[in-house]
C-alpha cells in the first residue's frame, strides 16, 4: 500500500487540490465584478496562476524533499527562514483543512435539507468525515491515491457533463443570454455590474485567481511520488491548463444560458440553478459533494507531510517524522487532524476570524519561493540541492513576474475586511479573532519553535 504516485496521479492530485467548492457554489462572485467578461477574466487568472505554478514547479526540480515551500525556503535561505515558512505554512494548512471539512459538512447538510447551523449536526458530521479521512490515509499511499483519482475523476466528469449539456442547450435553442447580466440593477436603479476599468479588471482577476490556488501544496508529499524532480515540473502546469479550460467552459455556458441565476441564486449549489433539467441539476449537486470531499482528501495528504518534513530536520519532535508499516507519517497525521478538529470546534465552526493566517501564509510562500528559485539558479543556496537543468525563463523571468504579481495581490487584498466584522445590526467592529490568530500564528508559534529548536542544538 506504499506504492508511489505516478505522473497522472500527480496531475489528478493537483487538480483535486485546486478544484473545490468555488466553481460549484459561488461562480457568480466574479460575474458580479466583470459581467459578460467573466469567462475571459478566468483565463487571465489562469495565466496569473500558471506563472506562479511554473515557479513552484521550477523549485521542485531542485528540492525533492517533503514540505514544499518549507523545504524550498530552507534550502535557499537557511534553517531560520525555512522554519518560519514551515511553521506558518503548517498552521495555516491545518486550519484550512479544518475549514474545508467544516464546509463539506455544512453544505452537505444544507443540500440534504437539514439544519446546517445546528452544532450537534455539524459536529457529528465533522467527526465522521475526519474519521473517514483517517481511515483513507492509514491504508497507505496507494489507497489514498486511488480515492484521490476517483474523486478528481468524479468532479471533472460532473463539470464536463455540465459543459457538454450547456453547449447542446445553446446550440439547440440558438439563444445567448450572456449580455442579460449587464441589465441587472441595484435597489436604487444603478447598474449592478460596474464599468470595466483597470481597477475593476485587477480586482476581478484576483478574485478569480483564488479559484486556482492549491497548486503550492502539491509538492508537500514529494517523497511519496515517483521521480518528483521530473514529474512535478510537468504535472503542476498541465493541471493548471486543464482547470483553466474547465473554468472557462463552465462560466461561459452558464452565462450564455442564465447569467441572472448565476448572480442572484440563493441555492447552495449556485451552478445547479442555471439549469432547469432535474437530472443535470442532480449531477451538478453530486459533483459538488464529490469535489468538496476530494479536496479534503488532498488536504489530508499534504498537511501532515509539512509537519513530517520539519520533524526530520529537527525543528519539531522527532517522533512526528516517523512512519508506520504502510509508510504513512501517522504521528504527524494525528497531530494535524487534531488541530484541524480542535480549531474549528473552538471557534464554533465560524472560521472568518482565523482564515487570515491561511491567506498571509500563502502570500509569504508566493514571495519566498520565487526568490528561492532565483537563488538556486545563481547557485547561492544555503543547503545542497539537486544539480537540475537550469533555465533563465522558468528560474529567473517567471519568479520575477511572480513576485510582482504577488505584490499586486497584497496591495489589492481586502485587509480591512479581514480585520473587521459586521454584526447583525450592520455595525462594523474589530475582528479580535483575526488579530489574535495573527499574533499566535506569526509570532508566538514561530518564536516557541525557534527557542525549542535552538535549545535542542545547545
Q: Grid cell 494525528 — which residue?
A: 334
Summarised one tens digit per residue, pLDDT across range 22-34 is 788 777 788 888 8
Structural domain count, the chain: 1
Q: Is the pLDDT of residue 349 over 60?
A: no
Structural domain includes residue 74: yes
Tell me if 367 is assigned to some domain.
yes
Is 449 inside any structural domain?
yes
More confident residue, 278 or 421: 278
Grid cell at residue 190: 444603478
162 within domain boundaries: yes
Domain limits at 452?
7-457
Q: Grid coordinates in use for 285?
A: 449537486
pLDDT of res. 268:
80
Q: Is the pLDDT of residue 201 over 60?
A: yes
Q: Rounded to the nearest 5°, which phi and psi values hold at 430? A: -65, 135
C-alpha grid cell for residue 47? 495565466
What CATH number did the domain enclosing 236 receive? 1.20.1740.10
Grid-cell match 449537486, residue found: 285
pLDDT at 400: 96
Exposure on the CB side of residue 441, measured as CA atoms within 13 A: 28
3-state secondary structure of 191: strand
For the stretch 113-141, pLDDT in tens is 888 778 888 888 888 999 999 999 988 88
Could you tell me what percent of the chain has a pLDDT over 90?
44
Residue 2, domain member (yes or no): no
Question: What are the pLDDT digits (tens) for 33-50?
Answer: 888 899 999 999 999 899
Inside any domain, residue 362: yes
User: How crowded is residue 347: how many other Cβ atoms within 10 Å of its Cβ?
Assistant: 18
Neighbours of 394 (CB within 10 A): 20
In a domain, 1, yes or no: no
Amino acid at each position: 500500500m506504499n506504492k508511489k504516485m505516478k505522473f497522472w496521479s500527480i496531475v489528478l492530485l493537483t487538480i483535486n487540490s485546486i478544484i473545490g467548492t468555488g466553481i460549484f457554489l459561488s461562480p457568480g462572485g466574479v460575474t458580479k465584478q466583470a459581467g459578460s467578461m467573466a469567462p475571459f477574466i478566468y483565463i487571465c487568472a489562469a495565466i496569473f496562476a500558471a506563472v506562479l505554478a511554473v515557479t513552484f514547479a521550477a523549485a521542485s526540480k531542485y528540492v525533492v524533499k517533503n514540505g514544499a515551500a518549507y523545504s524550498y525556503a530552507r534550502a535557499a535561505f537557511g534553517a531560520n527562514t525555512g522554519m518560519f515558512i514551515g511553521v506558518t505554512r503548517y498552521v495555516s494548512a491545518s486550519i484550512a483543512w479544518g475549514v474545508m471539512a467544516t464546509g463539506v459538512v455544512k453544505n452537505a447538510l444544507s443540500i440534504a435539507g437539514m439544519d446546517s447551523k445546528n452544532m450537534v449536526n455539524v459536529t457529528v458530521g465533522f467527526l465522521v468525515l475526519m474519521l473517514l479521512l483517517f481511515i483513507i490515509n492509514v491504508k497507505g499511499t496507494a489507497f489514498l491515491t486511488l480515492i484521490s483519482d476517483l474523486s478528481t475523476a468524479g468532479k471533472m466528469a460532473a463539470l464536463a457533463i455540465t459543459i457538454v449539456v450547456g453547449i447542446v442547450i445553446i446550440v439547440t435553442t440558438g439563444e445567448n443570454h450572456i449580455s442579460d447580466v449587464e441589465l441587472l440593477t441595484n435597489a436604487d436603479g444603478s447598474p449592478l455590474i460596474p464599468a470595466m476599468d483597470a481597477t475593476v479588471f485587477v480586482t476581478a482577476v484576483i478574485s478569480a485567481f483564488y479559484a486556482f490556488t492549491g497548486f503550492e501544496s502539491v509538492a508537500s508529499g514529494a517523497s511519496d511520488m515517483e521521480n518528483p524532480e521530473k514529474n512535478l515540473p510537468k504535472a503542476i502546469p498541465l493541471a493548471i491548463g486543464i482547470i483553466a479550460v474547465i473554468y472557462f467552459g463552465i462560466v461561459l455556458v452558464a452565462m450564455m444560458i442564465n447569467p441572472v441565476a448565476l448572480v442572484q441564486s440563493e441555492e447552495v449549489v449556485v451552478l445547479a440553478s442555471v439549469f432547469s433539467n432535474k437530472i443535470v441539476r442532480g449531477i451538478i449537486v453530486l459533483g459538488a459533494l464529490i469535489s468538496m470531499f476530494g479536496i479534503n482528501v488532498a488536504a489530508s495528504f499534504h498537511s501532515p507531510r509539512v509537519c513530517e518534513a520539519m520533524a526530520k530536520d529537527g525543528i519539531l519532535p522527532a517522533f512526528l517524522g516517523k512512519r508506520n508499516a504502510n509508510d504513512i507519517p501517522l504521528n504527524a497525521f494525528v497531530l494535524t487532524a487534531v488541530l484541524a478538529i480542535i480549531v474549528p470546534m473552538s471557534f464554533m465552526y465560524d472560521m472568518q476570524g482565523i482564515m487570515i493566517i491561511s491567506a498571509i501564509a500563502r502570500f509569504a510562500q508566493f514571495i519566498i519561493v520565487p526568490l528561492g528559485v532565483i537563488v538556486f539558479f545563481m547557485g547561492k543556496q544555503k543547503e545542497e540541492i539537486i544539480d537540475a537543468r537550469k533555465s533563465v525563463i522558468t528560474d529567473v523571468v517567471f519568479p520575477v513576474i511572480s513576485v510582482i504579481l504577488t505584490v499586486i495581490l497584497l496591495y489589492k487584498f481586502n485587509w480591512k475586511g479581514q480585520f473587521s466584522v459586521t454584526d447583525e445590526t450592520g455595525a462594523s467592529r474589530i475582528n479580535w479573532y483575526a488579530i489574535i490568530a495573527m499574533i499566535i500564528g506569526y509570532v508566538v508559534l514561530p518564536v516557541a519553535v525557534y527557542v525549542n529548536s535552538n535549545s535542542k542544538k545547545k
